[in-house]
Amino acid sequence: MPPGRSASVPRPSRRAALAAGVVAVATVVAHLPPAVVVAALAVIAGAVVVDMAHARRVRVGVERTDVPALARGTPVPFGLDVTVDGGQVTRLHQPAPAELALDPPEVTSASLGGSLTGVHRGTHTLPPMVVRVRGPLGLATSDHTGGPVDAVTVLPDLPRARRLAAARRRGRASDEGRIRNRLGLGTEFETIRDYSPDDDIRQVNWLATARVGRPMSNQFRIDENRDLVCMVDAGRLMASPLGEATRLDVALDALAVLAVAADDAGDRVGTVAFAASVVRNLPPRRNGAEPVVRALFDLEPMEVESDYDRAFQAVVGRKRALVALFTDLVDGTAARTLLAAVPVLGRHHALMVVSSTDTDLAAALRTPPADDREALRAVVALDLLASRRRTLGLLRRMGVTVVESGPDTLGPACASAYVRLKQSGRL
């Protein structure tokens, strides 16, 4: 066997069992002499032993597609080919962990062609393949394990985010969203000019006025290439499922869409991930969408309560930015802690809270209850949704931009809200 490959203990095949059965039937029907029966079985046993030895010693060559980094939920082509020197392949199987879906995982030929899909974010191991080889007589088989052990990285769906950004560019003027800088009461100094009766008193440059003997005003340029900080809640609530994904999976896919939209508009993008404490912190930077996605791709929910106040303290002292908080608002206790912490952040930054709607709760209300249990489930769902609506209403009254949409449309909804905020000058 070549290095790095192993073979299981050979075993007789169905053909060997069939040959022994034929001898047994012939013995009963034709009343064969015992010596003939023993000789026939000895021949079969010897042939099986020879075939087993041959099946174990065959050389197996493996060629497998190099697996790139995957976008979660997006299938990529996957191929596996084996060559066998002196045997026949009867089964080819490629094991895969639950975080990776291979279709098909098994064939009865020497070539497997299909697709590989990342089901869950993170770095996962694709183990060696298993091939079952039959000896030249067909009387024995042996399973051979071989091929590389690959580490497969599954990222949030960044390619989809870029496709959506390209679609937005095709559907609008090329400079929409990347708003050209305007003159006005901004933060970047432009020049000193003569005072105009329409100028705000805050624009008057008193030193220049005294020096030249006439009223002078400062002219500023509004800085519209801003900072976007994506805050990701990784507490216990983000582990609950939304279809085949978790709330955190959905949030990170939506974050990728928002970050690419910010890149497209020339803004700087950073991230803060937190649960009971801050676990990831990447300052805003130009073209920051991909670094942000790669910083968060293996983030997993933690079985702790989220500390919004501590997380907000991590960005309070920074330059004014749009803070997009990806969280879940279905739990009333967690929502109260968020509402208490919002003023800490609102004094320094614009805040946008992003949360996916709960498809299971909505389904519980759409389906008429068939028994008492389903009726109680509908009552609980109604209470949770009412609590969520109250929380969203309070957030809006506090000046927070709220983005709420289904799992599949949350990313585009975030990008649309972001562009509206840019255009309104609220950032």
Reduced 3-state DSSP string for the chain: CCCCCEECCCEECHHHHHHHHHHHHHHHHHCCCHHHHHHHHHHHHHHHHHHHHHHHHCEEEEEECCCCCEECCCCEEEEEEEEEECCEEEEEECCCCCCEEEECCEECCCEEEEEEEECCCEEEEECCEEEEEECCCCCEEEEEEECCCEEEEEECCHHHHHHHHHHHHHCCCCCCCCCCCCEECCCEEEEEEECCCCCCHHHECHHHHHHHCCCEEEEEECCCCCEEEEEEECCHHHHCEECCEEHHHHHHHHHHHHHHHHHHCCCEEEEEEECCCEEEEEEEECCCHHHHHHHHCCCCCCCCCCCHHHHHHHHHCCCCEEEEEECCCCCHHHHHHHHHHHHHHHCCCEEEEEEECCHHHHHHHHCCCCCHHHHHHHHHHHHHHHHHHHHHHHHHHCCCEEEEECCCCHHHHHHHHHHHHHHHCCC
For 121, the token pair is 């974010």
Q: Could you tell me if 59 and 2 are in contact, meaning their C-beta atoms sit under 8 angstroms apart?
A: yes
Give average pLDDT by consecutive 10-residue segment, the chain, 427 residues. Answer: 56 76 74 75 77 80 85 91 84 92 92 92 91 84 86 90 83 46 52 84 87 87 75 93 88 95 91 95 93 94 93 88 92 86 87 88 74 79 83 92 93 92 72
pLDDT value for 255: 96
> Which pTM was predicted?
0.75
Q: Is 169 exposed, middle or buried (0-12, 13-18, 19+ CB in 10 A)?
A: middle
Q: Could you tell me if 374 and 347 are in contact, meaning their C-beta atoms sit under 8 angstroms apart?
A: no
Q: Could you tell me if 320 and 348 are in contact, meaning their C-beta atoms sit under 8 angstroms apart?
A: yes
> Which amino acid type is present at position 53?
A
Go through 289-325 and write b for each residue having 16 or more CB atoms within 10 A of its CB, e for each that does not: bbebbebbbebebbeeebbbeebbeebeebeebbbbb
For 84, the token pair is 């066998």
Residue listed under structure tokens 């000789």: 39
Bridge-partner residues for 154, per DSSP? 70, 122
Residue listed under structure tokens 């012939």: 26
What domains lie within the chain, and their CATH numbers?
A: 6-155 (2.60.40.10), 158-178+225-424 (3.40.50.410), 183-221 (no CATH)
Go through 149-162 and write b for each residue having 16 or more CB atoms within 10 A of its CB, e for each that does not: eeebbbbbbbebbb
Q: Could you tell me if 200 and 270 are in contact, meaning their C-beta atoms sit under 8 angstroms apart?
A: no
pLDDT value for 425: 64
pLDDT value for 249: 93
Distance CA 264, CA 281 (A): 22
Using alpha carbons only, give the angle 201, 204, 206 rounded to the nearest 5 degrees: 130
Distance CA 208, CA 188 (A): 18
Smallest CA-to-CA distance from 250 within 49, 410, 372, 115 is with: 410
For 31, the token pair is 């009343």
Distance CA 29, CA 42 (A): 20
pLDDT value for 4: 45
Q: Could you tell me if 187 and 279 are in contact, meaning their C-beta atoms sit under 8 angstroms apart?
A: no
pLDDT value for 173: 41
For 8, the token pair is 């299981």
Smallest CA-to-CA distance from 266 within 181, 388, 387 is with: 181
pLDDT value for 44: 77
Distance CA 309, CA 231 (A): 12
pLDDT value for 175: 41
pLDDT value for 183: 40
